[in-house]
Structure 1
């Protein structure tokens, strides 16, 4: 049985990755410090013999006994509300944490895939964004703690690949949505749905002309799986190129939720990107991957998930309870 370490395993994407590799027959070692992750995302896996969870911060050190075939490094705050609240931890997990995991990959002879982000492009001057675009990032702005952390993460990953021969992959993830997102994490989709469920008006920052491209989580996980199984070391965009303005998206959510709320506008945050759309030519050519789930269908599934949550979840901000689920 092949063994894989997944960091950030209790998060939105990390938990879906755990599901995928359990399904593929792997022994999954899940690791998360639960600063932003939710242990409930993994509760259905806890009884399995080929799954174990460690409550641990990879910025400190990483030790895994036995052989290891693959590492997926997904430990990082990923929403503005989180990385603005814990900026130092955000920088550390993508620098110190990535360094330690690359060292572990080197020692174990494991293939490692690190989760980067479209935020490495900053507020892009090239549209859509291709992997050879270097970006337009403000390193000392409020978003710099996340943007530059991910840019450093890519640099040190490529250095380990070039100088130590470590097998590496880098996925640049664009806006993704689906079940297990946190309603109050500050990202646009759960923010809109949360406001709709609470009977609040939907808040659009700026004039709403800025664009995003939303990829359903199942499509993203498939792209990540194919990239891990490949020999591609250069960064690869994984996302849905179907672009939409934030104002249009707000209207879609109002129609989806069948509510009577209106859209209100507030000032645009500093360094908020005006455009975000992946060029997925590399993924289509090298991985034979492209998204399959239509946005209307993905939104319907996601909305049903949010509606199924207890009413208290609409106002809950932290999901860090883990007692009773940890294997010793």
Structure 2
């Protein structure tokens, strides 16, 4: 008999790819999303499938799913700077009230639950690369705090349910992930740079571009999450690609990839922008037998081809305007 899984944030970038994977693996998938940042076009190919059903629902309200449930993946959360600056209270609520509702549902159904945490819980790290044992350097009242602290609370509550109720829980600390279905103008580094290149705009780099990021292609990320869910490990696990690059170097790569001649323009570094971001994936290698397989060169070619096929209306949507002064992941 097929296992049944609830995936929240199902119409989002990563959530929709997870729906695809679990459908492919033979699971019955229930997708749930309130569509504040998600897009139905990401899952429209699944709507006619017998093993997929969709609930348009906000998990900060009571969550009910009829019938048995084997697994829950909690991926409902604004994840880009533009979103969590625009809807800070909803961001905090989905990581607090929302996770409480899902943990309660998991307890009721005796289901295993995996929550999507983030590398942002490390803040502007004083340890490099970041291991799961590092507690982080986070400004709880800064502009990033609404996202960072929501995820930190989410981890704490998840472990409390694990220890107090014996609930089967998993925590994935997700580092920068990219690929098809990202929103072009959501404020994250890769879609921001590609969007600027496609629009013929100069590429904006915060500070002098010496800060680093480590980008993981979505197929690798989904594989790591899949293995973590089915593992017997309850402590947090970093899922990301340790191939580190400076933002300035990455901007040069984008110009070469898109075959454009834009300039690189430096703008002031925003508050609490992390200077280094690189996962230590020793734990994922040892416990899950996982490490990323897709090179940045190959992953970026696929991602760029996806963005090139967007309509002119999508390319010039106004949500990218005036956010160079804010923050970018």
3-state SS in 2 of match to 1:84: helix
Describe the shift of the 1:317–1:165 C-alpha distance in structure 2 as closer, same or farther (beyond 3 A). farther
The 4+ residue runs of structure 1 with deviation greater than 6 A are: none
3-state SS in 2 of match to 1:226: helix
After TM superposition, give the deviation of residue 308 of structure 1 in Å: 1.1
Residue of structure 1 equivalent to 2:235:
234
Q: Distance in 2 between matches of 1:287 and 1:25?
A: 21
Q: Does 1:182 align with 2:171?
A: no
3-state SS in 1 of match to 2:271: coil
After TM superposition, give the deviation of residue 317 of structure 1 in Å: 5.4
Q: Distance in 2 between matches of 1:137 and 1:125?
A: 10
Q: Distance in 1 between matches of 2:221 and 2:51?
A: 24
Q: Distance in 2 between matches of 1:149 and 1:272?
A: 17
Q: Does 1:284 align with 2:285?
A: yes
Matches of residues 283-302 of structure 1 in structure 2 within 5 Å? Answer: 283-302=284-303
Residue of structure 1 equivalent to 2:201:
200
Residue of structure 1 equivalent to 2:107:
106
Matches of residues 72-151 of structure 1 in structure 2 within 5 Å? Answer: 72-151=73-152
After TM superposition, give the deviation of residue 316 of structure 1 in Å: 2.5
Residue of structure 2 equivalent to 1:25:
26
Between Structure 1 and Structure 2, how many residues are aligned?
A: 318
Q: Distance in 2 between matches of 1:315 and 1:268?
A: 25
Superimposed CA distance per residue, residues 127-165 of structure 1 (whole angstroms, 9 cap, x where no aligned partner): 000000000000000000000000000000000000000
Superimposed CA distance per residue, residues 273-325 of structure 1 (whole angstroms, 9 cap, x where no aligned partner): 0000000000000000000000000000000000011121112357xxxxxxx
After TM superposition, give the deviation of residue 59 of structure 1 in Å: 0.5
TM-score w.r.t. the length of structure 2 is 0.96
Residue of structure 2 equivalent to 1:45:
46
Q: Distance in 1 between matches of 2:214 and 2:27?
A: 32
3-state SS in 2 of match to 1:100: helix
After TM superposition, give the deviation of residue 61 of structure 1 in Å: 1.0
After TM superposition, give the deviation of residue 250 of structure 1 in Å: 0.1
3-state SS in 1 of match to 2:53: strand
3-state SS in 2 of match to 1:189: helix
- Taking only aligned residues, the RMSD between alpha carbons, in angstroms, comes to 0.7
Q: Distance in 2 between matches of 1:110 and 1:289?
A: 24
Q: Distance in 2 between matches of 1:78 and 1:315?
A: 21
User: Structure 2: where are the runs of 5+ without partners?
Assistant: 320-329
Q: Distance in 2 between matches of 1:257 and 1:295?
A: 14
Q: Distance in 2 between matches of 1:238 and 1:317?
A: 32
Superimposed CA distance per residue, residues 211-243 of structure 1 (whole angstroms, 9 cap, x where no aligned partner): 000000000000000000001100000000000
TM-score w.r.t. the length of structure 1 is 0.96
3-state SS in 2 of match to 1:6: strand
3-state SS in 1 of match to 2:228: helix
3-state SS in 1 of match to 2:37: coil
Q: Distance in 1 between matches of 2:167 and 2:99?
A: 13
